[in-house]
Structure 1
Amino acid sequence: MTSPTAARPGAAAQQPVGPGWLLGFAAAWFGFWLLVMLPGQFMVVKLASVIDPVDKVALSSALIAVMAVVIVVSVPIVGWLCDRSRPRFGRRRTWALAGLLLGTVPFAFVGFQQGGLGAGVLLALVALGEAIMLVSLSAIIADRVPHGQRGSASAAMGVPQVIALAGGMVLVTEVITDVGHSWLVIAVLALLCPLPFLLRYREVEAPPTPSRRWAAGGPRRRVDLARYHDYTWALVSRVLINGGNLVGTTYLLYFLADVLGLPDPDGALLVLVLVYLLACGLASWAGGR
């Protein structure tokens, strides 16, 4: 295991990262995406149908809303704290490990809950852990990866999302069909995948904490985001795309079971998710070209 001592300021950040580093980074993101993608696409709605078959739509909506609110509120706060903290073993690694534990340990017990309140509390903790992991793992790209390799690092971040959703769906719909055990197995996988990378990650020494002093001419200027029209368009477009995606996929299991009356809605959902991923991949490739 590499020493946790921080590297010389600026030295490690200028060195190219190798294939092994990128593979480990991808494995860390694979664990993260298991926690994020599977509950929203299948596991929460399946759990709600077991806890309360009559009001399953309302319960699943409430559980998903709790996770969404926690993530939206906590991400900027965690980002601010992660930038300004100076723990002994490195700010990014320390926060990532804390988020990993906070996200996976409660996750393992969600599937065994008998009521919506217990599931909601555990999922709120999971969402907080997800937010911490998202912030700290994303910041590693800017801290450690040279500009010439940012595309490769972004691919190592994004490609595992597709693999986690496809492989995870096969696992929880065809291999491990018991609800409680499916949550437990995904939690264990999500915990083990990032550990090799995070335990060996060599931090770049953090810059001094930003000063809070007032400038000589008065309060510091605030950035007016309204002036940055490209940022606004990117933000609005991303929200609309992800919102449309969630509306069309979150309750698909209920549509297959209750409206179409299919004898195996879980298996049908797996087929549709795979078709969905294939279409997304082809559209992304064509759109990129």
Structure 2
Amino acid sequence: MTDLITRLMNTRSDAKVLVLGAAVIDVIIQLDSLPRTGDDVSAEHRETLVGGCAYNVAHILKPLQVEHDLFVPVGTGTYADMIRKQLQADGYPLLIEESSGDNGWNLSIVEQDGERTFITIPGIETRWKSSWFEQAGVEQYDYIYLSGYELEGPSGQVILDALAARQASCRIIFDPSPRVTYLDRETLRRVLGMNTILHLNRAELSGLTGMQELNDAVREAYRQTGQPVVVTMGQDGTLLCTSEGSEILPARKVTVVDTIGAGDSHTGAFIAGLAGGLPLREACLLGNDIAGQVVQQQGGRWSL
């Protein structure tokens, strides 16, 4: 156990986190490289398990003993049944039960170098309803995690309208996701103005700002939010931009097996650090540490 994890585990905090988003089924396969159009290739099935950004983030918060609620819809169908069983095994109450359809699933393709590609078949987690928030009590949370996947389309307005009831001091931790360029500009403007810390990778940063040069892009992201911006860069570390300037926080060099869940695990650890009272810089370093552990194993799972 690293020093930062030990410090966090020995710190008592009353901060409460809402992890809002999706739980889906991940079907993970491995092949040497992505096929070209018209190719016929064989792949190896690695595993089928519950994933989704929100579930992955919560999976980091739980062993770190951060008080949190996992706010994900669970539908009706084969995939929903698998998710329901896993959430119950994890000790999570089912806060949203929806009878109108099944949950979605991802085909997660892992190449020889550990890089992953997702093909998503969406389900009810992309069709948010205002009624789901009637008993949510969003005003009780100090931090709310939110992904760009959930803000795409009409769901964005539904979710942001509901989050308007949050307490004034609440921090939104927003991961725009690879779908950031598909977000409605008004939705994006709203979420960036909600006391929001951006947590994203370099490709997502470029998609958000329209800028390719790293320092220009992170300054533009900071201009849009007026809040800290956290840019994950894999083994190159994490770029933290605040009102005091920018700093790259190093990551330990590791052997990458699988990058599935790396970003989500960094986000979860970062949130855990903030909720536990760590300064921004140390919360980023905690994210580097835990994400570095996650990529050394198959399937994006981590435990103490």
Considering only CA atoms, is the larger Rg found in Structure 1 or Structure 2? 1
Higher relative contact order (CA 8 A, sep 6+): 1
Please report the TM-score for the alignment, with normalisation by the length of structure 2. Answer: 0.23
What is the TM-score when the length of structure 1 is the normalising length?
A: 0.24
Compare the two structures and name the one with the higher strand fraction.
2
Write 1 or 2 for the structure with the bigger share of helix.
1
